[in-house]
Amino acid sequence: MSSSTYNQPSQEQISSQGSFFKGVAQVTGTTLLSITLLTSSIVAGGLVGLAISFRNLPDVRQIKNFFPSETTYIYDIKGKLLSSVHGEANREVVPLNRISPNLKRAVLASEDGHFYQHHGINPSGVGRAIVVNMVAGGVKEGGSTITMQLVKNLFLSQKRAFTRKLAEAVLAIRLEQILEKNEILEMYLNQVYWGHNNYGVQTAARSYFNKSAEVLTLGESAMMAGLIQAPEEFSPFASMEKAKQKQKEVLGRMRDLNWITQKEYDNALNEKIKLGKIRSFQGSALPYITNTVAQEIVRDKDLGREKLLKGGMRIQTTVDAKFQKMAEETVSKWHEILLGQGLSKNQMALVSIDPRTHFIKALVGGVDSKTSEFNRATQAQRQPGSSFKPFVYYAAFATGKYGPDSTVIDAPVGYRDGNGWYYPRNYDGGFSGAMSIRTALAQSRNIPVIKLGKAVGMNKVIDTCRTLGIMSPMEPVTSLPLGAIGVTPLEMASAYATFANYGWQSPTTVIARITDSTGNVIRDNTPKPKQVLDPWASAAIIDAMQSVVTSGTGKNAAIDRPAAGKTGTTSSEKDIWFVGTVPQLTTAVWVGRDDNRQLSSGATGGVMVAPIWRDFMTEALKGVPVENFKSPSQFPRPKSN
């Protein structure tokens, strides 16, 4: 709760509350005044007894620990607003000194002209309401002070009843013994409902007039104050005529109280009102990014869904909106190109990560977020095919017994598996005899990688995958090195990024920093890398994967700088991949169909996906200096067991 000093409701900042209310207009009508004063004395005299009888009312002291639900805002790395996330209440809390004096005066004039004089209830107002209700035979007029309205909103039901009005009065008196007037007014202005799912003055001001509550004019303030009793009915979005009518009533009340001059009244009434737009439940500018943020928050045991919807967090993502848009446009363009090449109903995902920080720089979960927000980059478990092979070769290199130039034999072999004999085959159906691991990887031969997996142990391959963050179910079966498991493009990009950073790893994230609405840091994801893989083995697999791009199945991914990567094509051409990296950026691209059917006969990662990777990386690396990978010789080779 802010302790800021409230500017008294006059055009000049008046330090004395008493001087402000000097000259306030008196209630007219001698008959009503007489009845009101009589009734007021009865009400005031009975309140002490009522306070004793209302023993079961809520404890207003709880309000000291009250935090209203508040909208969470998500921004890109440069501070551009991407989306707001909230539950029922779209609210941004602001301190009293950041609310326009015009609005404070207008609300007080409209709702409680004697706010700074009474102690929770206004006897004349309550008395007048009782008379009106007695004559009407029911509850027709409230007579509530701002304090009474606040306790009603926070502690009581909205049912209109005489007993509830009495409870409001008792609680209001109690509340005024706990909080200062400015604290009550600040809480009220941030709590009250202004229509169109806007709670609190800040979200309402941004919605109705596209500006902060701090700079609202007198005309805008009077129009907003007129909304409180029936926001949707008097909304200028619904009827400018009715909104102007209420504005005039509020300005008239301010004029009667001598809080504004006739000139100010006239100017405000003639002020041209420029409306904003209804903002609640707007779509995200970058839905794949903001949805990924939401998933990450919900998974966090210290934050969770409730904090996301009501916690008023300010989330800075790791993504530049322009860079993300470029990635989305690349995916959209290549979707159309692949359709022309016969890959009907193709879907696509792209994830780009800075290997030095493991910050996500771009994440595209499909060809069009408007038609489908299903995020294939983070949610689709698809087989990686041969892009899984570097994990096997890394496990071999980490033993110290093998290196990129070690010899393997590409020849027929059979293994007895749980379901009988398994005879692995290469993609082309042939065999090439003795070759280096570098060549076997570059040509994506299947038999050598299976032999090596069996030699080092499939459980070590699984351990490597777990270290790299791949958590899909895996069994140490003979076919594991061929990638017959489910992985996401995000997992693949993150794993390759760890290779590109020579075994150093930070948690992969789309969130750089989280603060609360007052600027206190909740989460700081400044990278804290840990060495999780052997640096020599990591550099060795990067060195071998450079041959994939220079002379192997990934030649179509070649760009004007050193690059390492691996193609992936599953059986029946259901999933095709290219995952590759330069020292500053790692990117995984996947193409497949949502129904998991064949894309096209002969579709391969090297022919159809590598060019997408090349196109994206060429654009992404514009202006980025060319860097060479570190040589394995720069690291100590692990001792073989």
pLDDT at 18: 32
Q: How confident is residue 179, by pLDDT bands cut at 50, 70 and 90?
A: confident
C-alpha closest to that of 624 among 589, 584, 587, 592: 584
Q: Is the pLDDT of residue 39 over 60?
A: no
Residues in the chain: 641
- The average pLDDT across 331-354 equals 96
Q: Poorest-confidence range of 260-264, 359-363, 453-457, 637-641?
A: 637-641
The whole-number average pLDDT for the span 87-108 is: 90
386 is catalytic: yes
- Check if the beta carbon of residue 290 is closer than 8 Å to that of residue 76: no
Q: How far apart are CA 273 and CA 216, in angstroms?
A: 11
Q: Which of 111, 168, 176, 186 is catalytic?
A: 111
Between 166 and 350, where is the model more confident? 350
pLDDT value for 157 = 53
Structural contact between residues 24 and 258, judged by C-beta atoms closer than 8 angstroms: yes
d(CA 626, CA 222): 60
Q: Note the helical H segments in 210-299.
A: 218-225, 231-234, 240-256, 262-270, 287-299
- Residue scoring higher pLDDT (168 or 558): 558
For residues 573 and 595, give the distance between their C-alpha atoms in angstroms, rounded to a whole number. 13
Task: Say which amino acid occupies 577.
Answer: W
Q: Which of 137-146, 150-159, 441-450, 549-558 has the lowest mean pLDDT?
A: 137-146
**pLDDT tens digits for range 296-318:** 998 999 999 889 988 999 999 99
* Residue 513 pLDDT exceeds 60: yes
Task: Give the pair of three-digit tokens for residue 619.
Answer: 């654009």
Angle CA(319)–CA(321)–CA(326) in degrees, nearest 5? 105
Structure-block tokens of residue 568: 């992936």
Q: By three-state DSSP, how is residue 134 classified?
A: helix
pLDDT at residue 129, rounded to an integer: 55
pLDDT over threshold 90, residue 7: no
Q: Is the pLDDT of residue 60 over 90?
A: no
Angle at 7 between CA 10 and CA 198, to 5 degrees: 100
pLDDT of residue 636: 97
Q: What is the mean pLDDT of residues 594-618?
A: 95
Amino acid, single-letter form, for residue 568: G
- In 424-488, which ranges are continuous DSSP H helix? 437-442, 446-456, 458-467
Running DSSP on this structure, what letter comes out for residue 606?
I
3-state class (DSSP) for residue 515 = strand
Distance CA 50, CA 219 (A): 41
Structure tokens, 319 = 């993504």
- Confidence category of residue 63, pLDDT binned at 50, 70, 90: low
Mean pLDDT of 488-492: 97
Average pLDDT of the segment spanning 366-394: 94
Q: What is the pLDDT of residues 404-413, one digit of tens each?
A: 999 999 999 9
Q: Where are the alpha helices (DSSP H) in 468-563?
A: 489-500, 535-551
Tokens 């200028």: give the residue: 236
CA 504, CA 357: separation in Å to the nearest integer?
A: 9
Residue tagged 């991407």 (tokens): 82
Residue-level pLDDT at 56: 56
4 has catalytic annotation: no
User: CA separation (Å) from 635 to 336, 430, 531, 545?
Assistant: 45, 37, 13, 18
pTM as predicted: 0.77
Among 235, 386, 506, 547, the one annotated catalytic: 386
Residue 520 has pLDDT above 70, yes or no: yes
